[in-house]
Structure 1
Amino acid sequence: MSPHAFFAPIPSPSEYDSWASYRAAAGRWNDFVAVGQKIDHSKNRLAYCIAGQLLRDAVIPSLIFSDPSHTDGFPIGHPDLHLGNIFVDDDLNITMMQNPSPLAAEDLLNATFQARLEQACHIEHMPPNIWKRADMMRLFHRLVRMLSTRDYHDFVALYSLGRCSDGNEEGRSESDEGNPDIPALFAERARQSENMQLLAELREDDSPPDYVKRQEQASILARAQAHPEKLAVARKLTLMSEMNERFVADRKLWRWIEDAMEDIHP
């Protein structure tokens, strides 16, 4: 599973105002997932199973064209568009696009690709549903191929697009930012009898507690000796994540901790 922790997306440099802030967030993320070996834990694997169920039930049906006039088309997009797989000639004409590495596509690059494609094809106005479906396919590919380091955010975006397409009411409760309340939706799914049984089966493959403890110490012992407060923060966050079913360790959390630490140690 490494480095995929569904409810703890890996920090990205673009989310922070400085390189130092990003490095601090990345370090705290490492400490957090190391405590209890969260990445390979049954709860994380169950989260990905539930994500697959929701993709099957709410997203895949919306990827199918319901309008017969569009049955002979397909979304225009690239599942892994980035500068490393675009080749140009001396006149800056694109000569080849390929997929040599699993780097994540950037929204800005995709927006540029869309605009240039419309210009090159002399299309005055591409129907919005075409680009919407292309965005859904891009996000879908990144999730199912596990190409992304931000599975949670990609899932929220994809599920929101799919929900708008088919009118599915599941997950209609909204979060503070207007997105579907994904943590609550996952918690509701986890309480279903079949998923409780699935979790029990997944727990059979969890590592023994003494092994988890040794791995945890090996992962963060050196950092904990130099900065014992980092281990304390990781343990407190772990306790919070166990008590709050809507807990997500994302950029909002790491920024809040950074601000709190600056207040304590100005």
Structure 2
Amino acid sequence: MSSKSGSDKVFLYRKFDLQALCRRASALRRGVPCVCDPEQHPASGSFNWAVFISFEDGVRWVFRAPHPRDFMPEEQAEKLLASEAATLRYLKAHSDIPVPEVYEYCASSDNDIGVPFILMNEAPGRPLSNFWKASEAFQPSLETAKKNKILSQLGAITWKLSQLRFDKIGSLFEEAGSFELKECLSRGHMLRGRYLLEIPRGPFVSETEFYDSLVSAFSEHAETLPISPNCFVAPIPTPVEYQSSIQCKKAVGLWNDFVTIGNKIDTANNRVDYVVVADALRDILRTLELPAVNPGTFPLHHPDLSANNIFVDDDCNITCLIDWSFASSIPEATLLTMPGLPQYGDELCPQLQIPFIDGFIAAIPESTDQKLFQKYRESLELGQVAWALSRLLSLDSIRDYNLFANVWQFARGSDQDMGQYFLQKRCLPHYITLYNEVHEEDPPILEIEEEEKDYFRDKDFRKAIAMKLTLVSDWKRQYAEIQEPRLRENMFVASPVLWKWIHAFVQDWKEMLDRSTPEIRGEIE
């Protein structure tokens, strides 16, 4: 058995006592010998890394530990690890939902191995991400019938989660063999630096407290934390909005040009727009009635049912759900939303929502009051509002404008135009004062201009388009104290229609260029 040699690949992310790990694993299996190959390359995710332990009888375990990341201090990572381990043990004890079995965990470095860890069994099957969607020419996409089968099973699992109820909203921890809800470690409370914010963290006794905390996190995030790449009025183009990957790539290029002028993302105009969104959400949530069948208690929730965290066998039977970091109890409406597939932020197409709903309904015992079947179906069909709200409040999406528009339409309908609402708010003294305060923290003008110069080097034509678009957007005067008429009487939003129009204009312009100017043609290719 190797010691902590710096040349061993197993120590890529962190040094630990390999021999102590094997001794501990072997002892947990009553002396069955095991090895941990020091030349294996650790598996790695955003927050954790893992290595595999092989026992003499063919059994394999996973040893998982937090990454030493700058964006997540060790204290917070250890807290997340402890809660995830407790959640997995609770699920094993109170349900038949397929999750890894935790044999031992230690949420601090104060142990013989030298790092915080979870020891669990290897998840059977393969990650759904391996074949959900074609990523290479030689890799076929999963058939629709198989996708339907998987969604139906996820619906049934969601029903089972809906039966694991708590009287508060928070995350599970284990103490002296019993489970207890403590502070909420949801994505919206922890990620993107939000663990630093001084906000209520629960456990929350009501949905109102929970949402108020998330809105506070959203608002403070907008004012003080990095928000890149989120630009409220300029959502990043996504492939589903374009006919080809080439067209989408062109749109992303135009988007990059636009947000580079004036450093539009992490500066005051964009930040205050998000504060306006936060204040609007706070008002909306006071009266918004999200569908719930059993209000007053709160179900357990997997916060990231993406294709990476769903394991299936060759017949597309779900064999394991992994990565329960950031798990908590939540309002029922959030549980009754569609999973994001293949990735957390992806909205499930309507065709695949049907088998999810049908799978949920089919899992309800036949002895249940028939009225509940209809209530659940109605709640599930309205789940996209809660889906949009949860992604928006966590700033987990690149489509914030669209998400807010969905929530606004559900809550306000056509009673008030959303664009006019923003224009009115931007004129209020409160937001102009806030803009001036936030603007003081913006990067110096010379620094921004230098970044523009580097970005647009040899790209004069593209820079001219981005500057014209900035002028048309009235960007620099959104929160300015000016009396003269503004250029715009409506709210500027960089939608797919805009990028397609500019792309068409550029194509027409290229055709008009004289062949003697290849340098310009090359720049706008």
Give your verdict on TM over 0.5. Answer: yes
- Listed as ranges, the matches of 1:29-178 within 5 Å are 29-59=255-285, 61-63=287-289, 70-72=294-296, 80-94=304-318, 95-96=320-321, 98=323, 103-108=344-349, 110=353, 112-121=355-364, 125-127=374-376, 129-131=378-380, 134-164=383-413, 172-173=415-416
Hey, what's the Cα distance between the residues in 2 that align with 1:255 and 1:214? Answer: 29
Deviates more, 1:183-192 or 1:19-28: 183-192
Q: Normalized per residue, which structure has more strand? A: 2
Gap runs ≥5 in structure 2 = 1-226, 326-339, 367-372, 475-486, 512-525
Hey, what's the Cα distance between the residues in 2 that align with 1:148 and 1:39? Answer: 15
Deviations 1:153-205 (A, max 9, x none): 111112212225xxxxxx734xxxxxxx3232112122222222211211111
Return the match for 1:237 from 456, 459, 469.
469
Equivalent residue, structure 1, for 2:504: 259
TM normalised by structure 2 equals: 0.43
Deviates more, 1:23-32 or 1:51-60: 51-60
Shift of 1:82: 3.1
- Contact conserved, 1:4 with 1:151, CA < 8 A, in 2? yes
Hey, what's the Cα distance between the residues in 2 that align with 1:75 and 1:241? Answer: 44
* Counterpart residue type for residue 43 of structure 1: N
Equivalent residue, structure 2, for 1:191: 427
Shift of 1:111: 5.1
* Counterpart residue type for residue 149 of structure 1: I
Shift of 1:112: 4.5
- Contact conserved, 2:357 with 2:377, CA < 8 A, in 1? no
Change over 3 Å in CA distance of 1:80–1:35 after alignment to 2: same
* Counterpart residue type for residue 113 of structure 1: F
Shift of 1:61: 3.4
Equivalent residue, structure 1, for 2:182: none
Return the match for 1:249 from 494, 498, 510.
494
- The SS at the match of 1:38 is coil
Deviations 1:55-104 (A, max 9, x none): 10013531467x9x742466998664432232234543333264679741
Change over 3 Å in CA distance of 1:249–1:111 after alignment to 2: farther
Pair member with larger Rg:
2
Shift of 1:206: 1.6
Equivalent residue, structure 2, for 1:200: 436
The share of aligned pairs that are identical, in percent, is 32
Deviates more, 1:12-21 or 1:102-111: 102-111
- RMSD (Å), alpha carbons: 3.0
Hey, what's the Cα distance between the residues in 2 that align with 1:156 and 1:79? Answer: 23
- The SS at the match of 2:321 is strand
Equivalent residue, structure 2, for 1:19: 245
Larger RCO: Structure 1 or Structure 2 (Cα < 8 Å, ≥ 6 residues apart)?
A: 1
- Contact conserved, 2:234 with 2:494, CA < 8 A, in 1? yes
Shift of 1:151: 0.7
- Contact conserved, 2:392 with 2:403, CA < 8 A, in 1? yes
- Contact conserved, 1:76 with 1:131, CA < 8 A, in 2? no
Change over 3 Å in CA distance of 1:190–1:81 after alignment to 2: farther
Hey, what's the Cα distance between the residues in 2 that align with 1:76 and 1:117? Answer: 15
Q: Number of aligned pairs?
A: 247
Deviates more, 1:250-259 or 1:84-93: 84-93
Hey, what's the Cα distance between the residues in 2 that align with 1:3 and 1:144? Answer: 15
Gap runs ≥5 in structure 1 = 165-170, 174-180
Hey, what's the Cα distance between the residues in 1 that align with 2:473 and 2:267? Answer: 14
- The SS at the match of 2:311 is strand
* Counterpart residue type for residue 463 of structure 2: L
Q: Normalized per residue, which structure has more helix? A: 1
